[in-house]
Amino acid sequence: MGHYVPHTDDEIAAMLADIGLSSLDELFDVVPAALRLAGGLNLAQGVSEPDVIAEMERLADRNRVGADLVCFAGAGAYDHEVPSATRRLTMRTEFVTAYTPYQPEVAQGVLQALFEYQTMVGRLSGLAVANASLYDGASAMVEAVNLAAAATRRATVWVSGGVHPHWRATLATFAAGTGHQVVDVPLRDGVTDWAAVPDGEAPGAIVVANPNYLGVIEDLGPARAAADRHHALLLGGFDPVSAGLLRSPGDDGADVAFGEGQPFGTPLSLGGPYLGLFACRLEHVRRLPGRLVGRTVDVESRAAYVTTLRAREQDIRREKASSNVCTNQTLIAVAAMIQLSWLGTGGLRELALRCARGTRYTREALLSIPGVSPFTRGAVLREFAVHVPIDPVVAVDRMAEEGFLAGVPVGLHAGVTVGPGDEAGERGLLVAVTERRTKAEIDAYAAALEKVVR
Amino acid sequence: MTDSIRATAGAPQHGSMDGTRLGDVTGAQGHRPAPAGRATSIPMIGRDSEPTIFEMSSPGRHAHSFRTTGLPEWAAEDLVPSEHLRAAPLALTEVSERDLVAHVTRLTHRQYSVDLGAYPLGSCTMKYNPKLCDDVAALPGLTGSHPAAPASCTQGWMEMLCDLSDTLCEVTGMHAATLQPPAGAAGELTGLLLMRAFHSANGSTRTKVIIPDSAHGTNPASVTLGGYQTVTVPSDDRGLVDIDALRARLDTDVAGIMLTNPNTLGLFEEDIAEIAAAVHEIGGLLYYDGANLNAILGVTRPGDMGFDIVHMNLHKTFAVPHGGGGPGAGPVAVSERLAQYLPGPVPCREADGSFSWRTPEHSIGRVHSWHGNALALARAWSYIVANGGDGLRRVAEGAVLNANWLRHALRGAYDLPYDRPNMHEFVASTASLKKDKGLRAIDVGKRLLEEGFHAPTVYFPLIVDEALMIEPTETESPQTLAALADALIDIAAGTEEAWKAAPRTTPVGRVDEARAARTLVPTWDARDGFS
């Protein structure tokens, strides 16, 4: 169809004449004949826009969402409210259809929004410098490890078994290229047992998540002590919603903080695009991955914003760069800035508090079901795991028939958290409760779970 | 200068302001043709600086409101042990929704975008992003899916991802794909790790990856992160890979080569079949950087050229909007012998017509927290369905036609170091103009902003002095192109005074980048600066 190529036939003929050609095919004379696709692509013909929408609605209707599948799943992807103001402002096409701000004179909108975002991430993390976003929580953790390995010139990384299994899996994938040696540190009673690390090379990085994957609040003190002992950097994973109540990783001694920013203004969306939060101490700014916006002035001494310390980045350092990040998640960062402004100082605390209240209420309701027991000890805030008397994967499937996304099946293998498909000595159900869940929904959920696990 | 297109462009139905034909160059404000039919912006509003959201804060004010839940209102101290609680609320800002909306809207007035005008950034493929795709990405049935939901609850998503994956394989001539990589650079690194897994499974410990001197900066950075050493191969007088120099670098330590075809000069690597044979002969693999895939849609395919691994930038070729720098999507497709190493899980179509997640037998593992930038994938899929196979070929034709026409139009005004048939983009230079009159590539970019266009990519590729890398894309009309050509010609004929003063009509003038780096102000809290 070619809906979006505006040229008329007459215009094409005139343009071809201007460049001395007589057909569009001649444009491709530089492609050797043997390589040219003879019959064209084996794809359907284009269709009209209403037909596209109809097809996409057909696909969308095959997914079960919203009131049809009330969400009690989390595991790094949370069903928070996205208010109208955030939704509408994030759809502004000046943000949506802009490129990376290479020309700051015509990109002050995106640059200032990112500057405000960086300020907010700095405050959430309790660290001096935040970048303009990475792809997701996993990539933020991988980049944190790369920074620490470069700063300490050591390849060994201790990673808490309470870090998200998908994030640890991503780290393992990229370690095949960087050569990092990842040592998993087991959980005991739901929190990382730093005394259980086997003997070996001294680590350059120590990675912990708070709250951890099982929802348990971790004390960063022992991890910081281990980092001090080995002159390693402490990389603190954090949930930015919980930060409304909990101390920030920077307050507890983290050198680098990383996290998943999806809870602020981004819908679940099958897991992407999400938002990698990344912040570090000032002393590491020259190794900061990705883009960084700085405030400066223009020729008339007016406040202006620009991407800065560009010499860190891949297009300048090329093979000497410690990160290859170019395209990031700017629009999602802008959404987070808007959402955090909409929440405001009081609203962020209120959000965390409401999640904690719903979590307390739900946990008590589930633990009153015969056969359901705690998976961990230790305080939780917005998420918790329980043992259920049947296979948690089966429980989730049965609960879907009852209209609930019951949670995410979780396992522990040698003290390390794993996903439902992995070998595990112990299995449970990870349940998250956001500010959107009402008492009526939670009561119905608990009643349904009692029925399906009986 | 040729002018037959200008005659077409100046036809009366386009209604120019004062009878001046579209494309005529007068240089004077008020004598420019009316903007109808072409995509250029008037000087932007938003000249007043905007305070930060933190300066707008008034204690006690707020925008938020929460759902009524009926839950007990326990206090924080009753829910979280006191040793974990922060001492005081974390300060963000305190503004009303009305003030927040005004602030952000004013910021948008200080921002250029494709929806405002043409964006001829070379290698970035800043084509028009159909509004249709925005509506698709907002469908509640797509935005509401939790990524860990059982497959039975996400069948629509999985059907779409399977179809998209199959289609990307058809477009690239590949066998299987992963949709996980969230950006082009992530796709590159994924591809290099696939290369590593392939060699390692074959018992080979190769150490080097070859890239041309015209390559994107992400290529060498990805090579390093993939655990390889970069070996650079020079370009020859044609602007293509110097094949003799390449042969001299090929040995059994070479894991593979990364190529962009057409390359960053906009030139098709005509010797690609010979290059592929030579690299395969020493047991190496060919990696295709899909940044410039727009030029060859439906014309030729990386798989047919001999490539083994391909990444695509859906935010370039398939009209996913760039979002001010992201999110993008960088799927990777591979030939049959590499399929077993792809990241998992991948969506699969089962014999009964249902869809499930499966992880390839020798998968390198995950490269994303979940399944990639899914909403970006949905946008790309709706764009592909709208275009169809016929429309995608038309995209390539339009892109290549526009770029060649613009190159012709600039003859005589700028240096054209490789003045031969190009694909979707070309590289001009101000090297002579700099020598004669002091005009630098950056000045052209800044002056163009005053004319209502975005600047081209400047100072890249590195092998061209004072480079202006220009990619008009297929969605700009001949009228827009003519106006862009006129603006560029006008700029070259201008004075040093005007060049150095530019841009004067933008929200801010030239920005002091040196100061930004010298006295770092990365947050409002550091507004006095770190130095």
Among A1, A55, A63, A445, the strongest candidate for a mutation testing the B interface, having the largest count of B CBs within 10 A, is A63
Residues B380-390: tens digit of each pLDDT: 999 999 999 99
The mean pLDDT value for B350-359 works out to 97
Strands B467-470, B426-429: pairing is antiparallel
- Please tell me chain B's helix, strand, coil percentages from 3-state DSSP, rounded to the nearest 5: 40, 10, 50
Q: Is the pLDDT of residue A4 over 90?
A: yes
Phi, psi for residue A447 in degrees, rounded to 5: -65, -40
Please enumerate, as own/partner, the contacts of A7-12 that have beta carbons within 8 Å and a separation of 24 or more: A7/B398, A7/B401, A7/B477, A7/B478, A10/B8, A11/B5, A11/B8, A11/B9, A11/B477, A11/B478, A12/B401
Q: Which of A436, A261, A452 is nearest to A362 (CA)?
A: A436
Q: How far is A310 from chain B (nearest CA, A)?
A: 8
The mean pLDDT value for A155-163 works out to 98
Residues B308-327: tens digit of each pLDDT: 999 999 999 999 999 999 99
Q: How far is B436 from chain A (nearest CA, A)?
A: 26
Q: Is the pLDDT of residue A185 over 50?
A: yes
**pLDDT for res B446:** 97
Of A34, A119, A318, the CB nearest to B525: A119
Cα–Cα distance for residue pair B346/B356, rounded to 1 Å: 8
Cα–Cα distance for residue pair B531/B515, rounded to 1 Å: 10
| Cα B90–Cα B96–Cα B97 angle in degrees, nearest 5 | 110
% of chain A surpassing 70 pLDDT: 100
Residues 327-346 of A with CB under 8 A from B: 327-332, 334, 337-338, 340-346
**pLDDT for res B7:** 44
Cα–Cα distance for residue pair A318/A332, rounded to 1 Å: 27
The mean pLDDT value for A11-36 works out to 97
Phi, psi for residue B212 in degrees, rounded to 5: -70, 160
% of chain B surpassing 90 pLDDT: 89
Instruction: Give B230's Cβ-side CA count (13 Å radius).
Output: 24
**pLDDT for res A421:** 84
Distances (CA, A) of A278 to A249, A323, B253: 12, 13, 37
Cα–Cα distance for residue pair A274/A91, rounded to 1 Å: 16
Tell me which chain A residues have a C-beta less than 8 angstroms from the C-beta of B449. 103, 105-106
CB contact under 8 A, A296 and B511: yes
**pLDDT for res B38:** 64
| Cα A436–Cα A440–Cα A442 angle in degrees, nearest 5 | 70
CB contact under 8 A, B513 and A440: no
Q: Is the pLDDT of residue A149 over 60?
A: yes
Q: How far is A115 from chain B (nearest CA, A)?
A: 6
Residues B189-221: tens digit of each pLDDT: 999 999 999 999 999 899 999 999 989 889 999
Which residue of chain A comes nearest to B125, CA vs CA? Answer: A99
CB contact under 8 A, B113 and A93: yes
* Fold type of domain B9-44+116-122+425-531: Aspartate Aminotransferase, domain 1 (3.90.1150)
**pLDDT for res B42:** 57
Task: For B292-356, give the DSSP string.
Answer: TGGGGTTTB-HHHHT-SEEEE-HHHHT----TTT------EEE-GGGGGGS-S-EEEE-TTS-EE
* Contact status of A140 with chain B (Cβ, < 8 Å): no
Q: Which of B218, B296, B231, B292 is nearest to B257 (CA)?
A: B231
Point out which residues pair with B286 in neighbouring strands.
B257
Phi, psi for residue B196 in degrees, rounded to 5: -65, -45
Tell me which chain A residues have a C-beta less than 8 angstroms from the C-beta of B386. 1, 3, 46-49, 52
CB contact under 8 A, B196 and A30: no
- Please name the helix (run of DSSP H) or strand (run of DSSP E) that holds residue A297, with its range, or none: strand A293-297
CB contact under 8 A, A170 and B365: yes
Residue with the bigger pLDDT between A323 and A409: it is: A409
**pLDDT for res B9:** 41
**pLDDT for res B406:** 98
Residues A201-230: tens digit of each pLDDT: 999 999 999 999 999 999 999 999 999 999
Map residue A313 onto helix, strand or coil: coil
Tell me which chain A residues have a C-beta less than 8 angstroms from the C-beta of B81. 217, 379
CB contact under 8 A, B386 and A176: no
Instruction: Give B384's Cβ-side CA count (13 Å radius).
Output: 29
ipTM of the complex: 0.98
Strands B229-233, B208-212: pairing is parallel
Q: What is the residue extent of each domain of chain B? A: 9-44+116-122+425-531, 48-63+89-111, 137-143+151-386
Average pLDDT, chain A: 96
Residue with tokens 């590491």: A284
pLDDT band of residue A311 (cuts 50, 70, 90) is confident
Tell me which chain B residues have a C-beta less than 8 angstroms from the C-beta of A95. 108, 111, 113, 323-324
CB contact under 8 A, B143 and A267: yes
Cα–Cα distance for residue pair A162/A345, rounded to 1 Å: 29
CB contact under 8 A, B366 and A76: no
B51: left (phi over 0), alpha (psi -120 to 50) or beta: beta
Cα–Cα distance for residue pair A132/A261, rounded to 1 Å: 12
Phi, psi for residue B363 in degrees, rounded to 5: -50, 140
Edge-to-edge strands, sheet with A233-238: A129-130, A276-280, A256-260, A233-238, A205-210, A156-160, A181-185
Residues A104-137: tens digit of each pLDDT: 999 999 999 999 999 999 999 999 999 999 999 9
Of A173, A243, A326, the CB nearest to B365: A173
Phi, psi for residue A323 in degrees, rounded to 5: -145, 145
Please enumerate, as own/partner, the contacts of A447-452 that have beta carbons within 8 Å and a separation of 24 or more: A448/A399, A448/A402, A448/A403, A448/A404, A449/A366, A449/A369, A449/A372, A449/A388, A449/A395, A449/A399, A449/A404, A449/A406, A450/A369, A450/A370, A451/A402, A452/A390, A452/A395, A452/A398, A452/A399, A452/A402
**pLDDT for res B40:** 64
pLDDT band of residue B44 (cuts 50, 70, 90) is low
Q: Is the pLDDT of residue B19 over 80?
A: no
Task: For A153-188, give the DSSP string.
Answer: T--EEEEETTS-HHHHHHHHHHHHHH--EEEEE-EE
**pLDDT for res B29:** 39
Do residues B96 and B62 lie in contact, with contact meaning Cβ atoms separated by under 8 Å? yes
pLDDT band of residue A190 (cuts 50, 70, 90) is very high
Tell me which chain A residues have a C-beta less than 8 angstroms from the C-beta of B347. none
Q: How far is B192 from chain A (nearest CA, A)?
A: 8
Residue A352: exposure state from Cβ atoms within 10 A (0-12, 13-18, ≥19): buried
Phi, psi for residue B284 in degrees, rounded to 5: -85, 170
Instruction: Give B386's Cβ-side CA count (13 Å radius).
Output: 25
- Please name the helix (run of DSSP H) or strand (run of DSSP E) that holds residue B86, with its range, or none: none
CB contact under 8 A, B157 and A63: yes
Q: Is the pLDDT of residue A312 over 90?
A: no
- Based on its alpha-carbon atoms, the radius of gyration of chain A, rounded to whole angstroms, reads 25
- Give residues with Cβ within 8 angstroms of A142, minimum separation 6: A170, A171, A174
CB pairs under 8 A between A and B: 751
Domains defined for chain A, CATH in brackets: 9-50 (no CATH), 66-82+344-452 (3.90.1150.10), 84-337 (3.40.640.10)
CB contact under 8 A, B109 and A17: no
Angle of helix A137-152 relative to helix A165-178, nearest 10 degrees, comes to 40
DSSP label at B21? P
Q: How far is B222 from chain A (nearest CA, A)?
A: 6
CB contact under 8 A, B408 and A18: yes
Residue A443: exposure state from Cβ atoms within 10 A (0-12, 13-18, ≥19): middle
CB contact under 8 A, B507 and A106: yes
The mean pLDDT value for B453-474 works out to 96
Q: Spell out a b/e string for B123-142, using b for 16 or more CB atoms within 10 Å of the CB, else e.
A: bbbbbbbbebbbbbbebebb
**pLDDT for res B41:** 64
Of A3, A344, A348, the CB nearest to B95: A344
Q: Spell out a b/e string for B460-491, using b for 16 or more CB atoms within 10 Å of the CB, else e.
A: bbebbebbbbbbbbbbbbbbbbbbbbbbbbbb
**pLDDT for res A393:** 97
Point out which residues pair with B152 in neighbouring strands.
none
DSSP label at B231? E
Residues 28-87 of A with CB under 8 A from B: 28-32, 34-37, 40-49, 52-53, 55-66, 69, 71, 73, 75-77, 79, 81, 83, 85
Of A57, A118, A331, the CB nearest to B326: A331
**pLDDT for res A42:** 97
Q: Is the pLDDT of residue A198 over 90?
A: no
Q: Is the pLDDT of residue B245 over 50?
A: yes
Average pLDDT, chain B: 92
Q: Which of A431, A427, A359 is nearest to A392 (CA)?
A: A427
DSSP label at A198? P
CB contact under 8 A, A296 and B513: yes
Cα–Cα distance for residue pair A154/A252, rounded to 1 Å: 23
Do residues A86 and A339 lie in contact, with contact meaning Cβ atoms separated by under 8 Å? yes
**pLDDT for res B461:** 92
Task: For A341-376, give the DSSP string.
Answer: HHHHHHHHHHHHHHHHHHHHHHHHHHHTSTT-EES-
The mean pLDDT value for A386-401 works out to 98
Instruction: Match domain B137-143+151-386 to its CATH number in 3.40.640.10, 3.40.50.720, 1.10.10.10, 2.60.60.20.
Output: 3.40.640.10
Edge-to-edge strands, sheet with B332-334: B176-178, B332-334, B309-312, B285-290, B254-259, B208-212, B229-233
Which residue of chain B comes nearest to A430, CA vs CA? Answer: B148
User: Two tokens at A400?
Assistant: 């879907």
| Cα A162–Cα A164–Cα A169 angle in degrees, nearest 5 | 115
Point out which residues pair with A210 in neighbouring strands.
A238
Do residues B317 and B296 lie in contact, with contact meaning Cβ atoms separated by under 8 Å? no
Cα–Cα distance for residue pair B64/B104, rounded to 1 Å: 16
CB contact under 8 A, A360 and B5: no
Cα–Cα distance for residue pair A367/A431, rounded to 1 Å: 12
The mean pLDDT value for B23-32 works out to 38
- Is the preceding omega at residue A211 within 30 degrees of 0, hence cis? yes
CB contact under 8 A, B225 and A330: no
Which residue of chain B comes nearest to A38, CA vs CA? Answer: B299
CB contact under 8 A, B119 and A12: no
Residue A222: exposure state from Cβ atoms within 10 A (0-12, 13-18, ≥19): middle
Q: Is the pLDDT of residue B417 over 90?
A: yes
Among B58, B99, B104, B207, the strongest candidate for a mutation testing the A interface, having the largest count of A CBs within 10 A, is B104
pLDDT band of residue B531 (cuts 50, 70, 90) is confident
Of B114, B126, B387, the CB nearest to A2: B387
Do residues B177 and B342 lie in contact, with contact meaning Cβ atoms separated by under 8 Å? yes
**pLDDT for res A123:** 98
For chain A, what's the residue count? 454
Q: Is the pLDDT of residue B17 over 70?
A: no
CB contact under 8 A, A98 and B503: no
Cα–Cα distance for residue pair B113/B111, rounded to 1 Å: 7
Q: Which of A272, A329, A133, A315 is nearest to B322 (CA)?
A: A329
Residues B127-158: tens digit of each pLDDT: 999 999 999 999 999 999 999 999 999 999 99
**pLDDT for res B160:** 98
